Amino acid sequence: MDLLPDDDQAAIAAAARELVGATSPPGRLIGLSPQGPVAEPKLWRLAAQQGFFALDVPEVLGGAGLSLAEQTLVFRELGRYLAAGPFLGTVVAAQVAAAAGDTELVAEVTSGALPVGLAEPIPDGLLRTFDADDARAFVVVTPDGTTVYDAGSTEVVRRRPCVDAASRWAELRVVGEPRRAVGRAEFDALPYASVLVAAMLSGICEATRDQSAAYAKVRQQFDVPIGSFQAVKHRCAEEAVRAEAAVQVVTFAALAVRDGRPDAALFWPAARSVTFDHAVRNASDNIQNHGGIGYTAEHDAHLFLKRAQLLGELLLPPRDVRRALLEAPEARPA
Amino acid sequence: MNLDLAPEMREFREEVRAWLRENVPREPQPHEGPEMRAFDLAWQHRQYEGGWAGINWPVEYGGRGLSLLQQMIWYEEYAWADAPDIGSCFVGVNHAGPTLIARASEELKSFHLPRILRGEVVWCQGFSEPGAGSDLAALSTRAEIDGDHLVVNGQKIWTSYADEADYQELLVRTSRGARKHDGITWAVCDMRTPGITVRPIPTMTGPAHFCEVFYDDVRIPLSDVVGEIDSGWSVAMSTLSFERGTGFLKEQVRLVRLVDQLVELARDRVDPRGRRRIDDDVIAQRLATARAEAAALTAMALADISRNARRSQPGVEGSMLRLFFSQLGQRVAKLAVDIVEEDGLEARPYGLPDSFAADWYRTFAYTIAAGSKDIQRNIVGERLLGLPRGR
């Protein structure tokens, strides 16, 4: 048992961090057009080239043969830098294709040629997505299974502006046939995708912790850095505690889901609950720590809060996370 | 990153589980007076006889010389077996012992360590003073060197188990240098030495083992000094991180279990109108959050063990674990009181089953002892985040 990354895993995390940080810093979202595609083309291309989408696809299907645990390291970095684009839907679709043994679809998705948006059922037989303008396909996660549709098999019914500047919110109707579908027994998308949502939220926890600490070291008031005041220092320390809890619960959940452990039923909802709560609180404290500039749209502090807010609603809203937490069996070590 | 237990570790877990099943005392644990001492020492001795004392202590001092992971497995099973609190053996086993292992002379180690493990002695910790709490280095209990002895005069306070203890880890001021951290000495104090007066202090949980200790020309042989004269600060600091992190592993596991038990309690209990407590949305929300946070605590504890297994000294990350654990423990204990409603008003001594209120009051110590939460936040802010010092 060891919860920390080994050398190979640390290298994956470092490579992802360097790539995402260099191509797509959070500030990119400031002034982003409210319409049209949001993915940074260079990031999307290089992410595909570096094999992000195929990290946890079996080697026989052309993937790297790693697991959800490694994928959480990449998604933590995507969360840290508020990367825009249909990353989550694309890796979920890659798993659908892999589970179905559809090598053609695997190749199309993992090469980045077919960006797949995440979609979920909403009332009136419609689907909801936040990836409308980048996706060329959609992957729909339901309690029974997961289905990939080409974008041409759907039509937009309604569009809604989203608080997250990098999201393209649309309600869709299915008008064509599925491209590929798998049942829950072949691929259980909800725990998988939930762990990756939690991983992105854990990245937000870390980013806001680091932004707060960096600012508290340089911002001077009363002739000293504000980080020397306990009121600020202690807020930063609690941000560090929340980030640590978020990162570690995500790792544990990823391993539990990957290994099919009985405690996965507790840990993946726990990861969602803790990372959502901690990301919102860290992002809020980060705005407070920045004072006036933190309230402006010119600073990126508010972007972390809004992304956290969106991620908290994806796939399983908090009320259902709560139910899953209360229903999960107790987790005795085995 | 993996949660796999090697086959030999699984065997170890089975062995631990089987032994605990047969050996955990079923009679209630006394929490006061000589009965408490006798019970705690007898239970420690039974663990020693079974080969379970000092799992990761060196073999030459009576320990098992096993890994931190095995220590964790022991604590996990210990908590799941509802084994008694370590109680008055805490300081000896979890603090004085590790400090002696790290810093004491061979003579002191071979004298004290086996006695601690065998359950023959109770230790207490003489650190805090009326004028030196969070600012521990401001301590002023004086020790003059007189021949081959220290002669101690002054007062310690908040000393758990001093009224039952045989030995004390004692911090005294041996000189006043430029920095107050210099000039402190760490010594083993035999509590039977003439000149020591112990006064118990009742606490908010009721009568307790909390004490103040007065020293009037107390003579301690220089051979009982650990480390050098005037270098006691570094001796004290060498194990505080342990006390804040992995040392509380069993309490962490117990807290995780407590949350699961509260879910059951809320399913069983009904309010006066016959509604199950768990059907109260506020209770359900708090229980769900507590379960999630308890899962995060499990993960944080494993991460802390993973870190410490890679180095020789526990790191300051233990303060994050301590902050998360202590505040979660307080929320969960209050939640228990809120689930049982009126029954929480019944005055029941700490340590009895269903003593929800006393259990809650007890958690107020979590964010004060072993460095208050404010001090822990300073440590995280300054040593992990690199923020400037200041008050």
pLDDT tens digits, one per residue of A286-316: 999 999 999 999 999 999 999 999 999 999 9
Topology (CATH level 3) of domain A189-327 = Butyryl-CoA Dehydrogenase, subunit A; domain 3 (1.20.140)
CATH number, domain A7-183: 1.10.540.10
Between B12-16, B99-103, B305-309, B324-328, the lowest mean confidence (pLDDT) is in: B305-309
- What is the mean predicted confidence (pLDDT) over B233-252? 77
Q: Given B293, B302, B382, which is nearest A3 (Cβ)? A: B302
**Mean pLDDT (whole number) for A46-52:** 97
- Label residue A331 by pLDDT band (50, 70, 90): confident
Sign of the Cα pseudo-torsion (A175, A181, A185, A189, in order): negative
% of chain B with per-residue pLDDT over 70: 98
Quote the mean pLDDT of chain B: 93
What pLDDT shows up at residue B250? 85
Q: What's chain A's average pLDDT?
A: 97
Q: What's the burial of B179, exposed, middle or buried (CB within 10 Å: 0-12/13-18/19+)?
A: exposed
* Nearest neighbour of B387 by CB, restricted to A9, A227, A321: A227
Bridging pattern class, strands A116-122 and A169-174:
unpaired
Does residue A325 belong to the interface with chain B, where contact is any CB pair within 8 Å? yes
* Chain A residues within an 8 Å CB radius of B256: 331
Whether ipTM > 0.95 holds is: yes
Per the annotation, the verdict on B106 as an active-site residue is no
**pLDDT bracket for residue B42 (50, 70, 90):** very high
Cα distance between residue A174 and residue A117, in whole Å? 14
The answer, yes or no, to whether residue A115 has pLDDT greater than 70, is yes
Q: DSSP alpha helices (H): ranges in chain B?
A: 7-23, 33-50, 68-80, 90, 97-103, 106-117, 232-244, 249-268, 281-308, 318-340, 356-362, 373-379
Give this prediction's pTM.
0.96
Residue B32: the pLDDT is 83
Across the interface, of A240, A267, A323, the residue whose CB is closest to B384 is: A240
pLDDT score at A322: 97
pLDDT tens for residues B206-234? 877 899 999 999 999 999 999 999 999 99
Interface touch A224/B388, C-beta < 8 Å: yes
Integer Cα distance of A314 and A120 in angstroms: 8
User: How many Cβ atoms sit within 10 Å of the Cβ of residue A122?
Assistant: 11
Q: Can you give the C-alpha Rg of chain A in angstroms?
A: 20
pLDDT in tens, B329-388: 999 999 999 999 999 999 988 878 789 999 999 999 999 988 899 999 999 999 999 999
Question: At residue B251, what is the residue type?
Answer: E
Predicted pLDDT of residue B238: 79
Q: What is the pLDDT of residue B208?
A: 74
Q: What is the mean pLDDT of residues A161-178?
A: 97
Q: How far apart are CA B100 and CA B112, in angstroms?
A: 8
Quote the pLDDT of residue B244. Answer: 60
Inter-chain CB proximity B295 and A270 less than 8 Å:
yes
- Position B245 scores a pLDDT of 57
- Mean pLDDT on B246-252: 79
B139-172 tens-digit pLDDT: 999 999 999 999 999 999 999 999 999 999 999 9
Say whether residue A218 is in contact with chain B using an 8 A CB cutoff: no
* Residues above pLDDT 90, as percent of chain B: 80
pLDDT, tens only, A129-154? 999 999 999 999 999 999 999 999 99
Q: How far is A275 from chain B (nearest CA, A)?
A: 10
Tell me the domains of chain B and their CATH numbers. 7-117 (1.10.540.10), 123-231 (2.40.110.10), 245-384 (1.20.140.10)
Above 60 in pLDDT, residue A40? yes
Within 8 A of B374 by CB-CB distance, chain A residues are: 230, 234
What is the reported pLDDT for B195? 98
In chain A, what are the domain boundaries? Answer: 7-183, 189-327
Q: How much is the pLDDT for B243?
A: 62
Which residues 253-312 in chain A show a CB within 8 A of chain B? Answer: 253-256, 259, 261, 266-267, 269-271, 273-274, 277
Is the pLDDT reported for residue B113 higher than 60?
yes
Q: Tell me which H or E stretch contains B132.
A: none
- Label residue A67 exposed, middle or buried (CB < 10 Å: 0-12, 13-18, 19+): middle
B129, B169, B212, B243: which one is catalytic?
B243
Q: pLDDT band at B246, cuts 50/70/90? A: low
Which of chain B's residues have a Cβ under 8 Å away from the Cβ of A240?
Answer: 320, 380-381, 384-385
